[in-house]
Amino acid sequence: MRTEERIVNEVAAALERETSVNLHRFPLQLGFSDGILTMEGEVDQIMAKKRALEVAAAVPGVAWIVDRVRLAPASAMEDGEIREHVCTALLADNQLASCAIWAMVKGKPEVIRETDQAIGSIDVEVRDGVVVLNGAVTSLSAKRLAGVLAWWVPGSRDVINGLDVSPSQEDNDDEVVDAVRLALEKDPFVNASQIRVSCAHYTVTLEGLVRNETERRMAEADAWYVFRVDRVTNLLRVET
């Protein structure tokens, strides 16, 4: 058996063992060449996407991954509609009020918000349901918040968060905790005051009480949406 075929088979076997990845309902296409694994297809939730990438990266011989894994959209939307919703969400958030907002339409920038005292700039482009954020913001929290807001748009199939942070900040677990808390506080369907958040090596743990199983799942999804979160341990309990 050739090395390429063996590694593809090992990745497929690892994905079969991962309970959050349902290859029978959402099959993924795998290809491998020169240390680069290509993964393509749809999954039903953000957890499945991130876990699939992590599991594949752990297979010996996989040096790089070309990520073409997309979420099955909650609502079918055209790219222009997704872009409009993302821009509206960014405009409405007070923590991003100092940022200029630009929409990239057919490769050309269109001003959504520009002020004389703009601190930071966010460019929003959507390609086949994939939201691409470029520009620069002043904090890691702002970068992560912009990404979560983009993920929350029902038509979003993926978010590529290319925002720079200027001046640069050192990332750490405390920064992740702050971002997850912020996401939970902004989610109208989650009671963040009842949830405790901790993080170790980019693995987030959620503890506390929620009203129902739906809120439990939504809180976990919010944590997964945060940039650089590699794993979420959901210890939330449903009130009885």
Read off the pLDDT of residues 54-105 as tens digits, 9 standing for 90 and up.
999 999 999 999 999 999 998 889 999 999 999 999 999 999 999 999 999 9
pTM of structure: 0.93
Read off the pLDDT of residues 138-151 as tens digits, 9 standing for 90 and up.
999 999 999 999 99
What was the pLDDT predicted at 119? Answer: 87
Question: What are the Cα distances from residue 90, in Å, to 133, 151, 170, 173, 216?
Answer: 11, 12, 24, 25, 25
**What are the structural domains of the chain?**
3-71 (3.30.1340.30), 79-165 (no CATH), 173-238 (3.30.1340.30)
Helix locations, the chain, DSSP H: 3-17, 46-57, 79-92, 140-152, 173-186, 213-225
As a whole number, mean pLDDT of residues 189-203 equals 97
**pLDDT exceeds 80 at position 1:** no
* Three-state DSSP class for residue 226: coil
What was the pLDDT predicted at 92? Answer: 96
d(C-alpha 6, C-alpha 11), whole Å:
9
* Three-state DSSP class for residue 78: coil
- Give the pairing type, strands 164-165 and 100-105: unpaired
**pLDDT exceeds 80 at position 115:** no
